[in-house]
């Protein structure tokens, strides 16, 4: 794997992707709260529903991991999220989001307005950008032995 050694490029790319991730998550929550308020659905129900989606959890992991590893690199979370295995696991999860949405879910609904923006960011742009980070910005790669560990989170979610 070819890595980019310029720390400013790595940091800037990570900050950009984290910012897009946080924006997309906040936008999606706003859209859900707004839509559900019109339908008289309680805020607590909306928030619980928001955090029940694999897409949201995976994008949240991307945003948290990039934020922690860039802004707090020497903290316990920063060190944990900087590990190649952790980054690879998150990469796997967010790629699953992009693939499953594109193959199975994109055809069954037609989002509009702000929902369309949030939808494209969460399902298309962030998975592609995180894949870019994994392929071009990371210096280390993960081992195939880690694949079993990487599958725990998607397996857990699929059982819910």
Residue 85: pLDDT band (50, 70, 90) is confident
| Residue-level pLDDT at 21 | 98
> Domain limits at 50?
7-159
Q: What is the pLDDT of residues 86-100, one digit of tens each?
A: 888 898 899 999 999
Q: Looking at the domain assignment, is residue 127 inside a domain?
A: yes
Is 155 among the domain residues?
yes
**Predicted local distance difference test score (pLDDT) of residue 84:** 83
Express as a percent the part of the chain with pLDDT over 70.
81
Q: How large is the average pLDDT for residues 5-19? A: 85
* Structural tokens at position 139: 């210096």
85 CB neighbour count, 10 Å cutoff: 15
- Which of residues 98 and 150 earns the better pLDDT score? 98
Question: Closest Cα to residue 157, out of 83, 100, 86?
Answer: 100
Check pLDDT > 70 for residue 33.
yes
Is 140 inside any structural domain? yes
How many structural domains compose the chain? 1
Place of tokens 């994008």: 59
Q: Tell me if 148 is assigned to some domain.
A: yes
Cα 44 from Cα 51, distance rounded (Å): 11
């Amino acid at each position: 794997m070819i890595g980019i050694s310029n720390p400013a490029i790595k940091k800037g790319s990570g900050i950009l992707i984290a910012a897009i991730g946080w924006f997309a998550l906040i936008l999606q929550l706003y859209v859900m709260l707004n839509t559900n308020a019109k339908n008289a659905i309680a805020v607590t129900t909306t928030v619980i529903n928001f955090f029940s989606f694999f897409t949201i959890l995976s994008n949240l992991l991307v945003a948290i991991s990039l934020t922690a590893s860039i802004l707090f690199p020497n903290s316990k979370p920063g060190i944990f999220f900087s590990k190649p295995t952790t980054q690879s696991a998150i990469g796997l999860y967010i790629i699953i989001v992009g693939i499953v949405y594109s193959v199975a879910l994109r055809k069954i609904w037609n989002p509009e307005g702000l929902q369309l923006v949030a939808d494209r960011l969460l399902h298309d742009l962030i998975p592609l950008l995180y894949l870019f980070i994994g392929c071009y910005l990371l210096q280390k790669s993960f081992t195939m032995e880690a694949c079993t560990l990487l599958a725990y989170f998607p397996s857990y979610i699929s059982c819910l």
